[in-house]
């Protein structure tokens, strides 16, 4: 639940992780049957949030992920002061997560553990904002499906907020969590949810009625050794009245519980708004001091008393009140009433016998008890078989064929006696295109032999544009592409304008639409190895310097005298050599010969030899050669 402060726990690998490049996990809050809740920080908006991260085994269920995202989007549109807001949902590094409002405080379950039970006015004051939240959802076409104290948050300033709207539907569709769902919420589950997995607004009303009973009495109405036995009680037994547990309970509260928990949905209030109106009327009519009066008359409930439903010793069956006008006939016993085994019924038409002897009386009592025990055992066996057949025996679990080829999946299902049809293709986050992406009913659902199963081929994930990653680091580019579902590869290439070690481009190119997910071609990330050093050996130092500087390099020249026939004013070598990948601004060292300082075109008169530099001339009397 998105409530409370961080817990001291062992190192959690998600703490410190940034999901979707935005939500930094700060600390662990709680772990539930389908997810772990963390306190997190929204890096974009700078606010505290709660992030619910689905367990990895659930996140692998393709149908669950799709339904979870759809339900989360619907819940995000629900705005009410008594509803925990849903801000965002996403899929990051194989983590499916939900971003919610962070609510510091505690849950209603924590309050019940602390106080045991609540007075009528306290109970109704808590129930009304819960019903207001459910009513807003019902008006928006949403059904909660998992109303329970753990999903009701109590803030430090006294607000009441309901969490996890619509998510139970996503969980119930997943074979990975079906067992966990039954075990976790069966105490509040309406009969129609048990029998046919169907639910509507009246199912939430039923759960609210169970919650009211628990607030008033400190215990759940149906308790048994197993979830299956509790589910059987919901289907076949009437929820007891609060006054059958606590004498002195106002009859109006019995009426509220009886009306909300009618086994026939048609006999319940049609939605939470209608039930809220009745609850508000009863609350207004209660005496102001009713809570204190009951507290003085009834001992405090023991903490953690929700595991046992026990009548006070002073309350006999004859003292239990008559059901209210909306209650169904009481069926608190098993399907076979105990009265049918009484001596009056069994002996009504039995002829009179002679006065029995002592031995006859002993034998009669012994055989009578054996008969009763035998009949009772037979009745329990028959009842057990009937329950097993109704809840499990006539149904078989749908095998998982997601990820198989359509041909293999069809053959496997038809071999087990199912009828198979093919539905329209669906986008898939994890299943390769052309293989089975989902089934209806989903894997693990219990259906009768010979039922129809629809196979939906995977279309892969919808094509999405490749983002522009030029100039980013390879790690950042890979993270951004992974969030979109792409597989990636990397390659190196020189670049004249991108710094060494940064992304130059992608293939497919930025903006081009590509198919992410399994079986799709990866996106190649090209990383700059720097700039190729141009070759300048054989050029003059001036020309070489100009070429290198234009390419973004710094130049250092070492000049030597020409020797051994070397040309003057020429670059003899360079370091690094031509074709080397180096970063922009690197230093290139050149070795070059100096210019020749002599020239042989002097002239003069006479036999002397004219010498000079450049275009100078020698003078003499003779003729120069």
Distance in angstroms (rounded) separating the CA atoms of residues 84 and 79: 9
Is 146 one of the annotated active-site residues of the chain? yes
Q: What is the Cα 37 distance to its own chain's centre?
A: 10
542 token code pair: 């001036």
Distance in angstroms (rounded) separating the CA atoms of residues 151 and 149: 5
Residues β-bridged to residue 18: 24
Kindly report the number of other CB atoms within 10 A of residue 56's CB atom. 11
CB 437 within 8 A of CB 62: yes
SS3 state of residue 39: strand
> Measuring CA to CA, how many Å separate 573 from each of 536, 569, 577, 585?
8, 13, 8, 19
- State how beta strands 446-447 and 396-397 pair: antiparallel
Burial class (CB in 10 A: 0-12, 13-18, 19+), 285: exposed
Catalytic residue among 42, 61, 110, 146: 146
Residues β-bridged to residue 338: none
Comparing CA positions, the residue from 294, 132, 310 lying closest to residue 221 is 310
Count of residues making up the chain: 625
> Measuring CA to CA, how many Å separate 76 from each of 135, 309, 499?
16, 38, 43
Q: How many CA atoms lie within 13 A of 63 on its CB side?
A: 27
Residues annotated as catalytic are 146
């Amino acid at each position: 639940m998105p409530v409370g402060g961080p817990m001291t726990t062992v190192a959690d690998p998600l703490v410190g992780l940034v999901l979707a490049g935005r939500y930094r996990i700060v600390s662990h809050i709680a772990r539930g049957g389908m997810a772990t809740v963390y306190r997190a920080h929204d890096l974009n908006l700078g606010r505290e949030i709660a992030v619910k991260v689905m367990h990895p085994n659930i996140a692998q269920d393709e149908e669950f992920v799709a339904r979870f995202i759809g339900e989360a989007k619907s819940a995000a549109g629900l705005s009410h002061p008594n509803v925990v807001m849903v801000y965002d949902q996403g899929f990051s590094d194989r983590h499916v997560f939900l971003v919610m409002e962070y609510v510091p405080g505690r849950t209603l379950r924590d309050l019940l553990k602390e106080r045991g039970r609540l007075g009528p006015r306290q109970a109704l004051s808590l129930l009304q904002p819960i019903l207001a939240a459910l009513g807003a959802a019902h008006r928006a076409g949403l059904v909660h499906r998992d109303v329970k104290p753990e999903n009701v948050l109590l803030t430090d300033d006294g607000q009441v907020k309901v969490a996890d709207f619509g998510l139970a539907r996503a969980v119930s569709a997943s074979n990975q969590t079906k067992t966990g769902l039954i075990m976790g919420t069966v105490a509040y589950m309406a009969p129609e949810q048990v029998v046919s997995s169907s639910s509507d607004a009246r199912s939430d009303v039923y759960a609210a009625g169970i919650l009211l009973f628990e607030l008033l009495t400190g215990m759940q109405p149906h308790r048994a050794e197993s979830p299956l036995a509790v589910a059987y009680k919901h289907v076949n037994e009437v929820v007891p009245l609060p006054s059958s547990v606590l004498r002195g309970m106002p009859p109006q509260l019995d009426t509220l519980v009886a009306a909300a928990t009618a086994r026939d949905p048609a006999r319940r209030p049609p939605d939470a708004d209608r039930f809220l109106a009745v609850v508000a009327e009863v609350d207004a009519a209660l005496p102001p001091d009713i809570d204190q009066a009951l507290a003085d008359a009834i001992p405090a409930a023991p903490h953690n008393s929700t595991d046992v439903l026990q009548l006070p010793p002073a309350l006999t069956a004859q003292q239990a009140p008559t059901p209210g006008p909306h209650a169904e006939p009481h069926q608190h016993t098993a399907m076979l009433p105990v009265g049918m085994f009484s001596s009056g019924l069994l002996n009504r038409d039995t002829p009179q016998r002679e006065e029995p002897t002592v031995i006859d009386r002993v034998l009669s009592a012994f055989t009578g008890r054996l008969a009763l025990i035998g009949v009772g055992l037979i009745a329990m066996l028959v009842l057990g078989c009937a329950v097993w057949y109704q809840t499990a025996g006539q149904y078989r679990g749908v095998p998982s064929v997601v990820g198989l080829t359509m041909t293999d999946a069809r053959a496997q299902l038809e071999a087990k006696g199912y009828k198979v049809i093919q539905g329209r293709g669906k986008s898939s986050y994890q299943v390769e295109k052309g293989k089975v992406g989902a089934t209806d009913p989903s894997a693990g659902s219990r259906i009768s032999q010979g039922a129809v199963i629809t196979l939906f081929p995977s279309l892969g994930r919808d094509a999405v544009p490749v983002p522009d990653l030029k100039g980013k680091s390879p790690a950042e580019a890979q993270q951004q592409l992974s969030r979109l579902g792409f597989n990636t590869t990397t390659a190196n290439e020189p670049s004249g304008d991108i710094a060494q070690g940064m992304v130059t481009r992608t293939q497919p190119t930025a903006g081009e639409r590509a198919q992410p997910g399994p079986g799709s071609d990866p996106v190649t990330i090209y990383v700059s190895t720097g700039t190729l050093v141009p070759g300048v050996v054989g050029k003059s130092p001036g020309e070489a310097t100009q070429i290198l500087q234009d390419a973004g390099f710094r130049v250092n020249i070492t000049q030597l005298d020409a020797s051994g026939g070397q040309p003057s004013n020429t670059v003899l070598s360079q370091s690094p050599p031509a074709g080397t990948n180096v970063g922009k601004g690197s230093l290139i060292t050149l070795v070059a010969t100096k210019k020749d300082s002599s020239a042989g075109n002097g002239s003069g008169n006479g036999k002397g030899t004219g010498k000079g530099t450049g275009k100078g001339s020698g003078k003499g009397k003779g003729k120069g050669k």
